[in-house]
């Protein structure tokens, strides 16, 4: 469907699902979109914190159409349950913002026994996207936004040891996962659903603070040249709400501009292999097919 054939939907009727919405970039993204009067659903992993943030966003945005679900997104069963719970409350998801993510300086495995960075930063985006697709309208501009990172530029998809069992390097695992976020963009057959990826900037959030002393050092070093979460959420909000990007698909944005991503991110053979591996690792039965190369 071409851009001119897509119907427009008022923002007050548009539903947004945002992961990692309890802190940092995701929290500001949820607040600013709620201020526009949209229907906003937060995903958080900590029930008390998520309820508190939801109440805060409702109050600051003067918008009661803000709700939440609880899911640890590194656990696939939780993502499947989340999708079912979402469907029982909402019939539509117009915009999915895959934002929850983290860096792990030492190797950890998820509840499912999958290396944590790959599980949380990539398989979570992949699985939640697929489970939301049936709820995404085809006659309006439905959008999927993957919060990636410029770290993807140094990333390689290491098919020989994708979970870094032999040798773990936290940065390489992070860069691989963020490259996977870019590789997923634009890969859906459904032409009216756009998928774009973005780098938010180097943003002063709690990112990397989950890594003890080393994490605090890294966090403090990043803070020396970080932008605020308000600045860092601008590209997510732009891709989620702007009319300027209707019909734009499969691009990588930085500072609200489409830029060239790493050369590996354009490699269709790598994208296809990653897609097939991700289907296998998430147990998806009737997947949406990858766009023909």
Ligand X SMILES: NC(=O)c1ccc[n+]([C@@H]2O[C@H](COP(=O)([O-])OP(=O)(O)OC[C@H]3O[C@@H](n4cnc5c(N)ncnc54)[C@H](OP(=O)(O)O)[C@@H]3O)[C@@H](O)[C@H]2O)c1
Has 86 been annotated as catalytic?
A: no
Are the C-beta atoms of residues 215 and 105 closer than 8 Å to each other? yes
> Contact between 147 and ligand X (CB under 6 A)?
yes
Binds ligand X (CB under 6 A): choice among 14, 17, 18, 26: 26
Using CB under 6 A as the binding rule, the residues of this chain from 265 to 284 that contact ligand X are: none
Nearer to ligand X, 118 or 192 (CB): 118
Nearer to ligand X, 22 or 194 (CB): 22
> Contact between 32 and ligand X (CB under 6 A)?
no
Nearer to ligand X, 186 or 215 (CB): 215
The stretch among 40-48, 156-164, 212-220, 266-274 that binds ligand X (CB under 6 A) is 40-48
d(CA 199, CA 81): 29
Nearer to ligand X, 34 or 141 (CB): 34
> Contact between 83 and ligand X (CB under 6 A)?
no
> Contact between 22 and ligand X (CB under 6 A)?
yes
> Contact between 18 and ligand X (CB under 6 A)?
no
- Exposure of 243 by Cβ count < 10 A (0-12 exposed, 13-18 middle, 19+ buried)? exposed
Which three-class secondary structure state does DSSP give residue 259? strand
Q: How many CB atoms lie within 10 A of CB 55?
A: 12
Q: Minimal CA–CA distance to 75: which of 30, 108, 28, 41?
A: 108
> Contact between 172 and ligand X (CB under 6 A)?
no
Nearer to ligand X, 141 or 178 (CB): 178
d(CA 30, CA 39): 10
Q: How many CB atoms lie within 10 A of CB 105?
A: 19
Task: Give the DSSP letter string of 198-254.
Answer: EE--SB-SSTTTTSHHHHHHHHHHHHTTPBPHHHHTHHHHHHHH-GGGTT--S-EEE
Per the residue annotation, which of 174, 238, 252, 288 is the catalytic one? 174
> Contact between 45 and ligand X (CB under 6 A)?
yes
> Contact between 145 and ligand X (CB under 6 A)?
no
> Contact between 188 and ligand X (CB under 6 A)?
no
d(CA 247, CA 235): 17
Which three-class secondary structure state does DSSP give residue 58? helix
Residues lying near ligand X in the complex (CB under 6 A) are found at 20, 22-26, 44-46, 49, 72-74, 99-102, 120, 147, 149, 199-200, 202-203, 205-207
Residues labelled catalytic: 174
């Amino acid at each position: 469907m071409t851009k001119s054939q897509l119907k427009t939907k008022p923002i007050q009727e548009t539903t947004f699902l945002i992961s990692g919405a309890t802190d940092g970039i995701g929290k500001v993204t949820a607040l600013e979109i709620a201020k526009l009067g949209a229907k906003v659903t937060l995903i958080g992993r900590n029930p008390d914190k998520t309820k508190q943030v939801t109440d805060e966003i409702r109050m600051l945005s003067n918008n009661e159409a803000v709700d939440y679900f609880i899911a640890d997104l590194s656990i696939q069963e939780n993502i499947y349950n989340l999708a079912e719970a979402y469907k029982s409350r909402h019939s539509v998801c117009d915009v999915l913002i895959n934002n929850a993510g983290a860096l792990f300086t030492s190797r950890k495995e998820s509840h499912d026994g999958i290396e944590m960075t790959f599980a949380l930063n990539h398989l979570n985006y992949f699985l939640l996207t697929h489970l939301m697709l049936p709820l995404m309208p085809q006659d309006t501009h439905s959008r999927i936004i993957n919060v990636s990172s410029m770290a993807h530029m140094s990333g390689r998809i290491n098919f020989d040891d994708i979970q870094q069992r032999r040798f773990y390097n936290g940065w390489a695992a992070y860069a691989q996962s963020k490259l996977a976020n870019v590789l997923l963009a634009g890969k859906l057959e459904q032409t009216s659903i756009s998928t774009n990826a973005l780098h938010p900037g180097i943003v002063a959030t709690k990112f990397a603070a989950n890594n003890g002393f080393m994490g605090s050092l890294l966090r403090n070093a990043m803070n020396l040249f970080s932008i605020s979460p308000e600045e860092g959420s601008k590209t997510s909000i732009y891709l989620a709400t702007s009319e300027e990007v209707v019909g734009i698909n499969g691009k990588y944005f930085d500072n609200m501009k489409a830029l060239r991503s790493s050369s590996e991110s354009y490699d269709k053979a790598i994208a296809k292999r990653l897609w097939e591996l991700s289907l296998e690792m998430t147990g998806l039965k009737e997947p949406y097919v990858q766009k023909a190369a």
